[in-house]
Structure 1
Amino acid sequence: MAGYRDLLRTPGVGRIMAAQLTARFPGGMISLAVLLHVEAVTGSYGAAGLVLAATSIGQAVAGPVTSRWMGRWGMRPVLTLTLIVCGLSILGIALLSVPLGVLMLLGLICGLSTPPVQSAVRTIYPKMVTAKQLTPLFSLDASLQEIIWIVAPVTVTFVATQVGTVPALILIVVILAGGGAWFVLSPELGRVRIPPSRRGIGRVLAKPPVLLATISGFLLIGACAAVEAGVVATFDHGGLEAGLILAVFALGSLGGGLSFGHIPIGPWAMARRLIVVTVGLGLAIVSLNVWWLGATLFLAGIGVAPALAVIYTITSASVKFSDTAEAYGWIGTGQLIGAAAGSAIAGFLIDDVGPTGAYVAAAGFALVGVVVAAVFVRGFPDLRGRDASPIPDTEPISTIPPPTSPIILP
């Protein structure tokens, strides 16, 4: 913890971390608020699911695209534009009485205009700290984001059920605007300029560490999404126990990230951390007792934030600075697709064999992650004692001095 205190004393680190967490806080609220609002308006969970699907598709498509735009037009213009469009689309969903097709369109626009805050801040981090501090910083970031998933769903559910779904959506817009403005106006965004990428979009995935980070994120978040579906199904569609168990899962991740974030990252780091997740989820299959699930999911959570820290760190160390934002955009897209796949597979298994099927799916996702990390271990860089900062875009050019002209004597 002393190391984290020193890290947060680094000029600007505490401020930029607080600003980006506030700006990203609505990310833990939007899906649930839209689900509750559209169901209240249309009387159909199916209709709400279609709007959410459109939002997720938009987010998946936008991730690498808007992240790449930041290198072309600058972080502040892209973030400001997406914040405005995203906020207006959420207000449209909240305030307009329109057919389902229009709600789906607004959901799609909301997803497409999701501000690329994660890509921006993870591109800025290497310019703020020393190489030795970068891995702990990514771990701290991955750990603290669990606060979003603990607090945000509870907050939006309370407002939506006690005050109304329209005020809940308006609250999201207020937090989005306030947190987004705080982040956009942070001095660090003015000091860091992302060079335009010279490579075609998607070419960054040819880097093995980026591709492995994207696949690992897909599998890890797929496992987490299956857990969420399983917990909700276990405790009667989201009773008090469901919220508490999911909070324990997130607390395990928070504790794991803070406890093990300082450990140097070697080629086997991903496999080791995913083994912890797999063991915890495998044990969860044994019993659906609330205490057993709480203990096993806490154990599984211990590996989540450290695994995310590996994903972000190996990406940073493997690409040029101009490609970092796009790389993180692809990783975000992989995680979104993983969440959709995990939820879908868990849902089918819940219908077929009951809630236990969701934990089987979650353990399966995590186990595949371990296998991928072990089989392709050579694709993971060894960062022990190495600088995890992005590769500079400009390198010294060797020059050969011209030969000395011979002196001709008369």
Structure 2
Amino acid sequence: MASYRDLLRTPGVGRIIAAQLTARFPNGMTSLAILLHIEHVTGSYGSAGLVLAATSVGQAISGPVTSRWMGLWGMRKVLTLTTVLCAIAITTLALVEMVLPAYMALGLIAGLTTPPIQSAARTIYPKLVNSRQLSPLYSLDASLQEIIWILAPVLITFVATQAGTVPALLLIAAILVGGGSWFILSPEVGRVRIPRSRRKLGRVLAKPPVLMATAVGFLLIGACSAVEAGVVAEFDEGGLEAGLILAVFGIGSLAGGLGMGHRPISPWSMARRLLIVTIGLATTMFALNAWWLGGSLIIAGIGIAPALAVIFAMTSASVKFSETAEAYGWIGTGQLIGAAAGSAVAGFLVDGVGHVGAYAAAFGFMFVGLIVSIVFVRAFPDLRHRDPSPIPDTEPVETIT
């Protein structure tokens, strides 16, 4: 913990972490709020699912695109524009009754304009700390983001059930604007300029570490989404037990990230951390009660934030600074697709064989991730004695002869 205290004493670090967590807090609320609101308005979960799917498609497309735009037009311009447009889309979704295609169009716009806060923050981090502190900073970031997934769904469910779905969506818009403004106006955002990338969109995926980070992120988040579907299905669609067990899952991840954040990252670090997750998820299929399931998910959770920290660090160390935002955008898109795939596969298996099917799907996703991290271990960089900061961009220099 001493290393984290030193890290947070570094000028700007605490402010950026707090601001980006606040700005990203709606990420843990929006999907659930849209689902509840559209179901309330239309009386159909199928219609709500279509609107939510449109939103997810928009988010998947926007990740690498808006992240790349920050190198063209600057962080503040892109973040301000997307924040304003996203808040308008969510507010309109809340206040205006319309036909289903119009709701889907608004959901798509809300997804396309989701501010690339995560890509911006992780692009800024290497400019705030020295190379020795960068890996612990990524670990701290991966750990603290669990706060979003622990608290946000509980808060938005409480507001939606007690005050209504319209106030819930308006609350999201308010946090989006307030948290986004805090982050955008932070001095560090103004000081860091991302150079314009000279490569075509998507070329960064040709780098093996970025491709592996995207693939592993897809499988890891897919496993987490399948677990969530199984827990909700087992405990009466989101009862008290479901909320507590999912909170325990997040707490395990938070503890694991803080506990392993100081450890050097080797090519085998990803495999070791995914092994912990895989073992924990394997035991969920034999859970006899809520206590067993909670214990299994604590074990699984211990490896999640540390694995995400490896993803962030290996990406940073493998690309030029001008490519970092786009790379993180692709990783975010992979995780979004993984979340959708995990939920979909788990949903079909729940209908077919019950909640155990969802836990089996989660284990399957994670087992594949473990195999990938072992088979392609050479694609994972060795950062034990290496600066994990991005590769500096170089420009040709004119000389007089």
Tell me the alpha carbon deviations over residues 108-130 of structure 1, each in whole angstroms, 9 at most, x when there is no partner.
Answer: 00000000000000000000000
Q: Summarize deviations over 1:80-129 as a string: whole Å, max 9, x none.
A: 00000000000111000100110000000000000000000000000000
Q: How does 1:224-235 map to 2 (within 5 A)?
A: 224-235=224-235
State yes or no: 1:199 paired with 2:199: yes
1:169 and 2:180 correspond = no
Q: Which residue of 2 aligns with 1:391?
A: 391
- 1:158 matched to which residue of 2? 158
Query: In the TM superposition, what whole-angstrom CA distance separates every residue of 1:258-292 from its partner, at most 9, and x where no partner exists?
Result: 00011100000110000000000001111241000
Between the aligned partners of 1:238 and 1:193, the Cα distance in structure 2 is 44
User: Are 2:28 and 1:25 aligned?
Assistant: no
Give the share of equivalent positions with the same residue, in percent.
73
User: How far, CA to CA, are the matches of 1:398 and 1:378 in structure 2?
Assistant: 38
Kindly name which structure, 1 or 2, has the bigger radius of gyration based on alpha carbons: 1
* Match of residue 105 from structure 2: 105
Distance 2:102 2:299 in 1: 43
What corresponds to 1:42 in structure 2?
A: 42
Q: Where does residue 58 of structure 2 map in the other structure?
A: 58
Q: 5+ residue gaps in structure 1?
A: 403-410
Paired amino acid for 2:343: S
Letter in 1 for 2:160: A
Matched residue, 1:213:
213
1:278 and 2:278 are equivalent in the alignment: yes
Q: How much does 1:333 deviate?
A: 0.2
Other-structure match for 1:149:
149
2:293 corresponds to 1:293: yes
CA 350–314 in structure 1, closer or farther in 2 if over 3 Å, else same: same
1:190 and 2:195 are equivalent in the alignment: no
Q: Which amino acid aligns with 1:271?
A: A
Matched residue, 2:363: 363
Paired residue type of 1:198: R
Instruction: Quickly say closer, same or farther: Cα 1:398–1:364, change in 2 above 3 A.
Output: farther
Task: Name the SS for the 2:265 alignment partner.
Answer: coil
Q: Which stretches of structure 1, 4 residues or more, deviate above 6 A after TM superposition?
A: 395-399
Question: Residue by residue, what CA displacement relative to the aligned partner does 1:27-50 show, whole Å, maximum 9, x if unpaired?
Answer: 000001111110000000000000
Letter matched to residue 31 of structure 1 = S
Distance 1:193 1:362, change over 3 A: same
Provide TM-score, normalisation by structure 2.
0.99
AA partner of residue 133 (structure 2): Q
Give 1:398 deviation, angstroms. Answer: 11
For 2:113 and 2:285, how far apart are their aligned partners in 1? 39
Instruction: Report the alpha carbon displacement of residue 395 of structure 1 after superposing the two structures with TM.
Output: 6.6
Aligned-pair CA distance for 1:238: 0.6
Shift of 1:396: 8.6
For 1:256, the equivalent position in structure 2 comes to 256
**Cα distance between partner residues in 2 of 1:280 and 1:11:** 38
Does residue 1:89 correspond to 2:93, yes or no? no
* Partner AA of 1:385 in structure 2: H
Question: Could you report, residue by residue, the CA deviation over 1:66-85 in whole angstroms, capped at 9, with x for unpaired residues?
Answer: 00000000000000000000
Residue 321 of structure 2: aligned partner: 321
Counterpart of 2:338 in structure 1 is 338
SS at match of 1:263: coil
The aligned amino acid for 1:327 is A
Q: Which residue of 1 aligns with 2:128?
A: 128
Matched residues in 2 for 1:114 and 1:190: separation?
Answer: 20
SS of 1:287's equivalent? coil
SS at match of 2:210: helix
Alpha-carbon distance between aligned partners in 2 of 1:386 and 1:181, rounded to the nearest angstrom: 35
Instruction: Tell me, yes or no, if structure 1 residue 223 matches structure 2 residue 220.
Output: no
The one-letter code of the counterpart of 1:340 is A
Shift of 1:193: 0.2
**1:190-230, CA deviations, whole angstroms, 9 ceiling, x for partnerless residues?**
11000000000000000000000000000000000000000
Query: Helix, strand or coil for the counterpart of 1:166?
Result: helix
**CA contact under 8 A between 1:288 and 1:356: conserved in structure 2?**
no
Question: Does the 8 A contact of 1:139 with 1:305 survive in 2?
Answer: yes
Deviation at 1:394, TM superposition (A): 1.4
In 2: Cα distance, 1:205 partner to 1:101 partner:
34
Note the aligned Cα RMSD (angstroms): 1.2
How many angstroms does 1:305 deviate by?
0.1
Give, in whole Å, the separation in 2 of the partners of 1:138 and 1:288. Answer: 36
Amino acid at match of 2:249: F
- 1:385 CA drift (Å): 1.3
Native 8 Å contact 1:230 1:359 kept in 2: yes
Please say if residues 250 and 301 of structure 1, whose CA atoms lie closer than 8 Å, have aligned partners that are also in contact. Answer: yes
Secondary structure at the aligned position of 2:247 is classed as: helix
